[in-house]
Amino acid sequence: MGGSSKSSSTDSSNPRHQVQFGITRDESEESVELDLPSEHSETEIENVNERLRHQTRLPDDDYQIKNLSRVLAVVTTVMLQMCYQKIAFFRTMNKMPRVPINLEYVPLDEKYNNAEREIGVILHPSEEFLNYRKFQKDLSWLENVLKSVIVDLQKSFYFDDFIKILNEDEMTRQEEQTLLTSKMFNLHEVKKLRTYLDLEKKELTRELQDVTEELGNFKDQLNDDIIESVVKLNYVKEWQKSRGEQNTSILNRQEQKLIKMSENMTTEIEKEIVIHDEMCTFLEMSLDEFQEEITKWMEKYDMDTEELEKAVEKKKIELEQQKDNHSKLLEEFNYRQEEMDKYKAHKLQMQKEAEEIQRQTRAATRIQAWWRGVMFRKGLGPFKRKKGKGKKGSGSAKKHKK
């Protein structure tokens, strides 16, 4: 308990078990085993804590119990209270102070955040003090766990917080076991590095002896080179002295040539100055003439611009008048177009009426002709036959009827 490295190393030799809802099961069926290779890489060891942190330990559905019965919860609470009182009495009798314990899960990188900074400051305590300190922490941890379970049983007749604490404690144990594995790996690497360092040290010692011997040879050669350099330096000094005298005579001759060249150049410069003055005078005169021409052209430009502006204003006025005339003509056109449309519609209507009258006239003529035929055949109206001929007409009429 308490998440110490000593207890985790002891538990790692025995088969691990997990307490779930008052039932103990072998973890080989439920828990996730972390397989580490025989040759650990640095990347795998760095990611172990991150992998363990995301592991979620869930209880089996077969063994899940929603809550305990009221009697069982009360009996369990009374027994746990007795244990809590005995632990408190034991701590009071031995005058052990309470140690602050955090029951929540804390990752190792946060738990040992200041470990590297405090390594060079904290003195290593004795083993007895460490055991006593661990006993205090375990006792305080057990006391806090019992208190939490008692409160949980009194509230909900169950121990969810206790299961959570056990699972988080198991995760802490696994992380510490991984940390110990990483430590053993690092110790093995340090041992190999020390062996390599000893070999390198021997090799460098041999190389240092060889370098020392070569350095002695170089010193002898350096002395010879210094003597040779002094002789050469004296020779070079004499040679430079004679060469300097020779160069001085050459430079004197060149200086005379340059002096003559300078005098000639002075004469040429004076000529160029005279020409320059004349050119400046000519350019000033030309500039004045150009300035006058520019002034004239600017005045002409202003006059032309003014005339063009007047013409533009005139054209604008004419354009406005044209727009007004166009608007009036457009209105008149629209009015006349509307009248033409009305006239066309009226003309079409008159044509339809004339065609209808003509059709009715033809129909009336046909009806009138048919009726005259009927009157003639029947002897009606003006076509009525005389009485003497009635029998013959009546007989023929009867035949006609038959």
Say if residue 353's pLDDT is above 90: yes
Say if residue 256's pLDDT is above 60: yes
Say if residue 169's pLDDT is above 70: yes
Q: What is the pLDDT of residue 357?
A: 94
Locus of tokens 């025995």? 14
Q: Which two tokens stand for residue 16?
A: 């691990």
CB 27 within 8 A of CB 19: no
Q: In the structure, what pLDDT confidence band is assigned to residue 273 with cuts at 50, 70 and 90? A: very high
Q: What is the pLDDT of residue 85?
A: 76
Q: What is the pLDDT of residue 298?
A: 92
Percent of the chain topping pLDDT 90: 19
Q: Which of 27-36, 117-126, 239-248, 355-364 has the lowest mean pLDDT?
A: 27-36
Q: What is the pLDDT of residue 308?
A: 92
Residues in contact with 287: Cβ distance below 8 Å, sequence separation at least 6, in sequence order = none
Burial of 11 (0-12, 13-18, 19+ CB in 10 A): middle
Q: Find the mean pLDDT for residues 349-371.
A: 92
Say if residue 307's pLDDT is above 60: yes
Q: What is the pLDDT of residue 79?
A: 78
**Of 104-118, 307-321, 377-391, which one has max mean pLDDT?**
307-321
Q: What is the pLDDT of residue 104?
A: 61
Q: Which long-range contacts (CB under 8 A, 24 or more apart) does 393-396 make?
A: none
Name the DSSP letter for residue 114: T
Residue 75 vs residue 231, higher pLDDT: 231
Q: What is the pLDDT of residue 88?
A: 76
CB 150 within 8 A of CB 80: yes
Name the DSSP letter for residue 23: E
The residue extents of the domains of the chain are 5-203
Q: What is the pLDDT of residues 182-200, one digit of tens each?
A: 888 888 888 889 899 989 8
Q: Which of 6-10, 337-341, 375-379 has the lowest mean pLDDT?
A: 6-10
State the average pLDDT for the chain: 74
CB 59 within 8 A of CB 29: no
- A 10 A CB-CB count for 24 gives 10
Q: Find the mean pLDDT for residues 58-62.
A: 42
CB 182 within 8 A of CB 48: yes
∠232-237-239 over CA atoms, to 5°? 90
Q: What is the pLDDT of residue 376?
A: 86
Say if residue 16's pLDDT is above 70: no
Residues 133, 76: Cα–Cα separation, whole Å: 30
- A 10 A CB-CB count for 175 gives 24
Q: In the structure, what pLDDT confidence band is assigned to residue 68 with cuts at 50, 70 and 90? A: low
CB 80 within 8 A of CB 149: yes
Q: In the structure, what pLDDT confidence band is assigned to residue 115 with cuts at 50, 70 and 90? A: very low
Q: What is the pLDDT of residue 294?
A: 92
Residues 122, 120: Cα–Cα separation, whole Å: 6
Q: Which residues of 130-156 are buried (b: 16+ CB within 10 A; e: fewer)?
A: eeeebebbbbbbbbbbbbbbbebbeee
